[in-house]
Amino acid sequence: MIKQWIINCNNAMTRRRHVHVHVRPEQLLLLLPHCMQWNGCIENLKEDVYLCKQCGHCSIARMRELAEKYQVRCVVAGGGRRAIAEVRRQETSAVVAVACEKELIAGIFATLPKPVLAVTNSRPCGDCCNTCVDPDRVEEAIRCLLENPGETDGHI
Ligand code: SF4
């Protein structure tokens, strides 16, 4: 509960900043955990999320769809070191991150002072295996940070 409270505080502060923190699509990073990929999938998403064939077996298919729709950079990170390297890249001005509470809190502190909206995953198969996320929450976070998210109804 304390971890979720810290995440909620961060998100509230980021949303309050959002009038000053609207970024272009190429400046927004959608950061996903490797455990979101179905554990039977053979695609090397750590190399390139667009290798996902969108078979729909896991949440990555919807995340790829969102990345294409909003033209944001999307990375599937195999670990904390890669995630931190991606958020610290010069072209990254804001981040939408999906992970468990523990990883999100570590990521929020590693990302400061860049704004990050953190979306907690769900773990129906237990920790670190076939994790899921509500795509509507991710899309809402993307639209919150983009300077011109378009006129769509917010649904893919
Ligand atoms: S949706 Fe993409 S990442 Fe998930 S199992 Fe299918 S091909 Fe693999």
Q: Span 33-48, mean pLDDT?
A: 96
Mean pLDDT in residue range 50-77: 97
Q: Say yes or no to pLDDT of 74 above 70.
A: yes
3-state SS of 29-42? EEEEEHHHCCCCCC
Residue 61, Cβ density class (10 Å: 0-12 exposed, 13-18 middle, ≥19 buried): middle
Does 1.20.120 match the CATH number of domain 2-145?
no
pLDDT score at 16: 83
Q: What was the pLDDT predicted at 152?
A: 57
Tell me the domain boundaries of the chain.
Answer: 2-145
Q: Is the CB of 30 under 6 A from ligand 1?
A: no
Q: What is the pLDDT of residue 149?
A: 87
What atom in ligand 1 is closest to the CA of residue 58? 4
- How far does the centroid of ligand 1 lie from the alpha carbon of residue 79, in Å? 19
Is 58 close to ligand 1, i.e. is its CB under 6 Å away? yes
Whether 88 shows a pLDDT value over 90: the answer reads yes
Query: Which of 32, 42, 43 has most ligand 1 atoms within 8 Å of CB, for mutation?
Result: 43
Percent of the chain predicted with pLDDT > 90: 80
> What is the 112 CA–ligand 1 centroid distance (Å)?
31
Mean pLDDT of the 118-124 span: 96
pLDDT band at 155 (very low <50, low <70, confident <90, very high): low
